[in-house]
Amino acid sequence: MGQITLKQVRKSFGDVHVIPGVDLDINDGEFVVFVGPSGCGKSTLLRLIAGLEDTTSGTIDIDGKDATNLPPARRGLAMVFQSYALYPHMTVRKNIAFPLKMAGMSQAEQDQRVERAAKVLNLGSYLDRRPGQLSGGQRQRVAIGRAIVREPAAFLFDEPLSNLDAALRVGMRQEISELHQSLKTTMIYVTHDQVEAMTMADKIVVLNAGRIEQVGAPLELYNKPKNLFVAGFIGSPKMNFVTGPEAAKHGAHTIGVRPEHITVGDGPWEGVVGLSEHLGSDSFIKVDVPGIGVINIRAPGELGVHHGHTVRLSPGHRIHRFDEKGLAL
Amino acid sequence: MSTQSSRAAARLMVAPSVILLFVWMIVPLAMTLYFSFRLYRLLSPDRTGWVGFNNYTWFFRAPDFWLAMVNTLALVGGVLIITVILGVLVALLIDQPVKGQGYLRILVIAPFFVMPPVAASIWENLFMHPQNGLFAAIAQGFGAQPILFLENYPMPSVIGIVAWEWLPFATLILLTALQSLSSEQLEAAEMDGASAFSRFRYIILPHMTRAITVVILIETIFLLGIFGEIYTTTQGGPGSASTTLPYMIFKQAIVAKDIGRAAAGGIIAVILANIVAYFLMRGIGRNLDA
Amino acid sequence: MARAVTPARTWMMTIAAWSVALLIFFPVLWMILTSFKTEASAVASPPQLFTADWTTANYAEVWARSDYPRFFWNSVVISVGSTLLGLIIAIPAAWSMAFVPGRKTKDLLMWMLSTKMMPAVAVMIPLYLVFQRIGLFDTKTGLVLALMLMNLPIIVWMLYTYFKEIPGEILEAARMDGASLWNEVLYVLTPMAVPGIASTMLLNIILAWNEAFWTITLTTTKAAPLSAFIASFSAPQGLFYAKLSAASTMAILPILILGWFSQKQLVRGLTFGAVK
C-alpha cells in the first residue's frame, strides 16, 4: 500500500511548462516532503498525484497500477488542504463522515470510524460543532480526521501549517509526525519551510522551477548538497557562498560554508562585525570580510561580540565546493 | 479541475442564457431596424412600402424631438448630479457616530423600493397638487400662490421625483464604499495634520471614486429609460414639455400607432445610449478595474 | 475617527442625521398616514399630519373592489414567476462560468451586461406586435417572459459573484472524498449556494414587482399588475386621496418589507458585483 511512482510526469498550462519532467519513487510508509520556493511546482506536483489536475504527459502509478487517468475519488488517496476546506454547513461529525458516506458505508460503520478518528485526534468534544466555531488548530485536526477515516493508501498534505501561528505550528508538526509513526501510512507533505522538511521527512524532494534538484534523507541533503540551489535552500541561516580568488584557493568556482561551521576567534578571515543578534542559546553575527564578502555566523551560547568589533573567523574544514555550473565537486 | 468533459458540460449549461439573451436582443433589434425603414401605421391600411429614411427625418425635423433629447439628457444629468452630491453628503452623515444607524438606513433606503407609479403619485397628489398638496398648503401659509409644479415646471418636477427615488440607491452604494474605508488611513492622515476637509478631499473622496463611477454608470443605464413616472404624472405634457425620447417613442407606438416612426425612434435611442456609454466609459471608465 | 467622540457631538450628528432621514422618508410616511384618514381630512386644508378620525375603511374598500385583488395577484405571479424562471436558466450558466471558466467567460459576462444597457424602447415595438400576434399580449405568461429576460443579466451576474465566493478547495475536497459530480452539487455546492440564491431571488422579486415599463406597455386589463393600476389611476377619478393612498400603501408594502432585508443584495446585484 502507498507505493507511488512518477515517470516522466510533465505539466504545462498552455505555454507555461510548470513541470518539465519529473521521475520519482515514493516507497510505502515513507514520509516524503516536497520542498522549494514559491512557484516551484510542488503544489502542482501534489495535485497531479491527487488527480485534481491532469498530467500533460507521463504516468503515475499507485501500488503498481496505472492511476494516471483515474479521477481523484478512485485513487485511494486523501488530501489535507492548506485552507482545510472543511464543509462549513456540516458539523464536524458530518465533515469527517462525508467520505464514508460517499463510499456508501453503513451508518453504523461510519459512526464507528468517526469515533475512532475523533479519539486519535482529540476531537471528541467538538463533534457537533460547525467549522466556523472552531479555532485554526481544531479545524486542521478535523481536516486530518476527514483524511484518516478513509484509511487511504497515502496522505497528501498541502502546506497544512501555513495558516497557523508559530507556537501552534511546532505543536502540530509534532502531532503529524507522531501520527505518521502510529499509522505508518505513506505521507506526502508539501511545504516551503525547510525546517518542517528537515524535522518531519524520511525523504526530502527539493524542487526548483518544476525540476527535482535533489532527493534524499534530510541529513544527506544537509551534508552532501548536489548543487548550489540545494546547498542554499537547506539550512538556516543560509550557507555562505564565496566566489573569486578565495574559492579558487580551494579549486572551485564557488565555495560554501554553513554559518554554524565557522568558528570565531582565530583564523584567516578578518572583518568588522555589522549586525549581531544574541538569543542566549545562539548568537548570530554578520561580519564584513574584505575581499570575501559578508559572512553570516551562528555560534552556540553567548558570544561577547558586538557591532563594530573586529573579529577573526575560521571557515573550518567543512567547505563545500561548486563548479561554475553550480554543481558540487 | 477542468477536463474536456466538464468544459463541454459547462458550455451546455451556459447555452440557454446566451441563446435567450441573444434572441431577446438581436431579433427584436433587427425587426425594429427593419420597421424603421418602412411605412407601417396600425391605423391606416398602408402597410407596405419602403420609405427609406423618412421616419428618421421626421424625427430630426420635429421640434418635439430636439426638446425630447434635451429633456432626456436633462433628466439623466439632473438626477445624476443631485443623487451623487446628495448621496455623498447623506452617506457621510450616516457614517458618523449616530444612534440608531440601522434604522436610519431603513428610512433613507425606503424611497428606492417604492414603485415608480406610486412614487409619482405621491408627489403629484400629496405634494404638488395645486389644491390639495402639501406644497400648496405651505405656500398659502406664507400668503403666496401655490406653484403649479407639474404644469409650469413639468421637467424639473419629474427630475425631482426621480431624484428622490434614486437618492437611496446612490446613498447606499456610497455608504457601503465609505464604510469599507479603514479608519486607520484616516487616523494616519489626522496624525499627519490633515483637517477634516483635507481628509475628505484627499482620502475619502478618492476612495469613493470607484463607487461614484459605478453609481453614475448604473444610474445612467436606468435613467435613460425612465417611463413610469412620466406616464403617471404628466403623460409627457403639457404638450411635449416633459416628453423624453423613450416617452416620445412610446407615444408614437401606442398612441399614434405609427410603428415605422416609433421604430426609427427606437434606433435613435439605441444610438444615443451607445454615445452616452462611449463618453461615460472614456470619461470615467478607467476608475473601474472590474 | 481618532478624535474623542464627545456625547455632544454624537447628539448633534444624531439629530442632523435623523432629520435628513425623516425628510427623505417623509413622502412615504405622509402617504401611509393619509391612507388612514377619511377623505375629508385627507384633503383638509391646512393639511393635518394626524387626524382625529382614524379609519381602516379605505383599505377595506380598496380591497373590496372587484379588480384590486386581481392586480395584486398579478403582481405576485409576475414577480415570483419571472424570478423563478430566471433562476432556473441562470443557475446552470452562473455555475459553469464560476467553476469552469473559459477564456471567453469574462467577455460573455460583459456582453450580458451590455444587453441590459439596451433601451427597452428599441425592442418594445417588435415585442408589442409579436406578443399580440402569438396571443401573449396582456397575459401573465407574456409578462413573466419579458421581465425574466429583462432581469436575466442581473440574475446571472449576482449568482456568478456568489458562486465565485465558494472556495474551490472545498469542492476539490469533496471530489477527493469520493463525491461524484451529482453528489458534489447536492451535498456541498447547493447548501453553500443557497444563501446567494436566496439573495438573488429577493432582489429580483423586488425589481420585477416595481417594473413599470413592460407592465404598462404589454398589458391592458387582464394581466395588469399593481404598477399599471396605480399609474392609470394617478389622477384620481374613482379613487380619492385616502383610498389612493391605501391602494398605494398596499402596493408597496410587500416590497418595502422585503427591501429592508435586502440592502446588501441590492448593492451587489445592481452594481453587477462591482461593489460588495
Does residue A245 share a domain with residue A157? no
A204, A280: one domain: no
User: Range of A289's domain?
Assistant: 239-322
A329 part of a folded domain: no
Amino acid identity, position C129: L
Assess whether C44 and C74 both reside in one domain: no
User: Is pLDDT larger for residue C191 or for residue B140?
Assistant: C191
Which of B:255-274 have CB within 8 Å of C? 259, 262-263, 265-267, 269-270, 272-273
- Beta-carbon separation of B3 and A54 below 8 A: yes
| In the predicted structure, residue C124 carries a pLDDT above the cut 70 | yes
Residue B64, Cβ density class (10 Å: 0-12 exposed, 13-18 middle, ≥19 buried) = middle
Give the CATH number for residue C146: 1.10.3720.10
Looking up residue A287, the CATH number of its domain turns out to be 2.40.50.140
A83–C167 C-beta distance less than 8 A? yes
Find the residue in B nearest to C48 (Cα).
B134
Regarding whether C48 and C158 lie in a shared domain, the answer is: no
**A186 min Cα distance to partner chain B (Å):** 24
Cβ within 8 Å, pair C112-B21: yes
Q: What percent of chain C has pLDDT over 90?
A: 20
Question: Are A149 and A246 contained in the same domain?
Answer: no
Whether A327 is covered by a domain: the verdict is no
Q: Do C97 and C15 sit in the same domain of this protein?
A: no
- Secondary structure element (H or E) that encloses residue C126, with its range: helix C120-133
* Interface test mutation site (partner B, options C121, C127, C137, C209, max chain B beta carbons within 10 A): C121
ipTM: 0.85
What digits encode the pLDDT tens for the residues B150-162? Answer: 888 889 999 999 9
Class of domain B56-287: mainly alpha
What pLDDT does B106 receive? Answer: 87
Reported confidence tier of residue B236, pLDDT bands at 50, 70, 90: confident
Is C177 inside a domain boundary? yes
Is residue A82 located within the same domain as residue A115? yes
Q: Report residue B290's pLDDT band, with 50, 70 and 90 as the boundaries.
A: very low
Contact A103/C at CB under 8 A = yes
Question: pLDDT of C1-58, one tens digit each?
Answer: 445 677 888 888 888 999 999 999 999 998 898 888 888 777 776 677 777 778 888 8
Cell of A159: 502546506
Q: Letter for the amino acid at C17?
A: A
Chain A: list its partners (3+ Cβ pairs within 8 Å).
Answer: B, C
**Number of structural domains, chain C?**
2
Backbone angles phi, psi at A309, to 5 degrees: -70, 155
Would you state the cell numbers that stand for residue B210, as one nine-digit string? Answer: 470607484
List subunits contacting chain C, requiring 3 or more Cβ pairs under 8 Å. Answer: A, B
- C105/A278 Cα distance (integer angstroms): 56
**CB contact at 8 A, B265 and B238:** no
Q: What is the pLDDT of residue B6?
A: 67
Q: Determine contact: C99 vs chain A, CB below 8 A.
A: no
Chains A, C: CB pairs < 8 Å? 59
Compute the distance between CA of residue B226 and CA of residue A32 in angstroms, rounded to an integer: 66
Asked if residue A162 and residue A216 are part of one domain, the reply reads yes
The answer to whether residue B3 neighbours chain A at the CB level (below 8 Å) is yes
Q: Are residues A227 and A300 in the same domain?
A: no
Domain boundary among C38, C59, C80: C59
The answer on A78 and A146 residing in a single domain is yes
Please identify, among C17, C44, C59, the residue that sits at the C-terminal boundary of a domain.
Answer: C59
Contact B121 C97 (CB under 8 A): no
Can you tell me the distance from the alpha carbon of C199 to that of C267, in angstroms, rounded to the nearest whole number? 11
Contact status of B200 with chain C (Cβ, < 8 Å): no
Q: Mutating which of A62, A102, A105, A159 best tests the C interface, going by the most C Cβ atoms within 10 A?
A: A102
One domain for residues C13 and C126: no
Provide the residue range defining the domain that includes C128. Answer: 66-270
Burial of residue A179 (number of CB atoms within 10 Å: 0-12, 13-18, 19+): middle
pLDDT per position as a tens digit, B181-232: 888 888 888 888 888 888 888 888 888 888 898 899 889 988 988 988 998 8
C92 and B113 within 8 Å at the Cβ level: the answer is no
| Final residue belonging to a domain, choices A202, A231, A260 | A231
Is B4 an interface residue toward A (CB < 8 Å)? no
- Of the segments A209-213, C104-108, C123-127, which one has the largest average pLDDT value? A209-213
In a domain, C206, yes or no: yes
C 212-231: CB under 8 A from B: 212-213, 216-217, 226-228, 230-231
A147 lies in the same domain as A256: no
Q: Are residues A130 and A199 in the same domain?
A: yes
CA distances from B70 to B242, B244, B280 (A): 10, 8, 18
Give me the CATH number covering residue A32: 3.40.50.300
Q: So what's the pLDDT on residue C2? A: 45
Question: Do A317 and A201 share a structural domain?
Answer: no
- Residue C233 in any domain: the answer is yes
DSSP bridge partners of A26: A4
For residue B289, what pLDDT is reported? Answer: 53
Q: What is the pLDDT along chain A (329 residues), one digit of tens a residue?
A: 789 999 999 999 888 899 999 999 999 999 999 999 988 999 999 999 999 988 999 999 999 899 998 888 889 899 999 888 999 999 999 999 999 999 888 999 999 999 999 988 888 898 999 999 999 889 999 999 999 998 899 999 999 998 888 888 998 999 999 999 999 999 999 999 888 999 999 999 999 999 999 999 999 999 999 999 999 999 889 999 999 888 888 888 999 999 999 998 888 899 999 999 999 999 999 999 998 889 999 999 888 888 998 999 998 889 999 998 888 88
Q: Which residues of A touch B3 (CB under 8 A)?
A: 54
**For residue B247, which of B168, B155, B115 has the smallest C-alpha distance?**
B155
C-beta separation of A169 from A142 below 8 A: no
Query: Same structural domain for residues A163 and A300?
Result: no
Q: What is the pLDDT of residues C111-122, one digit of tens each?
A: 888 888 888 888
The number of angstroms, rounded, from the C-alpha of A305 to the middle of its chain's C-alpha atoms is 34
Pure H helices in chain A = 42-50, 92-102, 107-121, 136-148, 166-183, 194-200, 218-223, 228-233, 245-249
What are the CA-CA distances from residue A89 to residues A329, C91, C166, C170, C195 (Å)?
57, 20, 12, 11, 11
Last residue of a domain, one of C35, C59, C83: C59
Neighbours of chain B (3+ CB pairs under 8 A): A, C
Domain range annotation of chain B: 56-287
Is A180 domain-assigned?
yes
Which residue in chain A is spatially nearest to C168 when comparing CA positions?
A: A85
Non-local CB neighbours of A324 within 8 Å, separated by 6+ positions: A253, A254
pTM of the predicted protein model:
0.79
Number of domains observed in the structure of chain A: 2
Do C16 and B93 make contact, defined as CB atoms within 8 angstroms? yes
Tell whether C31 and C126 lie within a shared domain. no
What is the tens place of the pLDDT at every residue in B22-63? 888 888 888 898 888 888 887 777 667 788 788 888 888 888
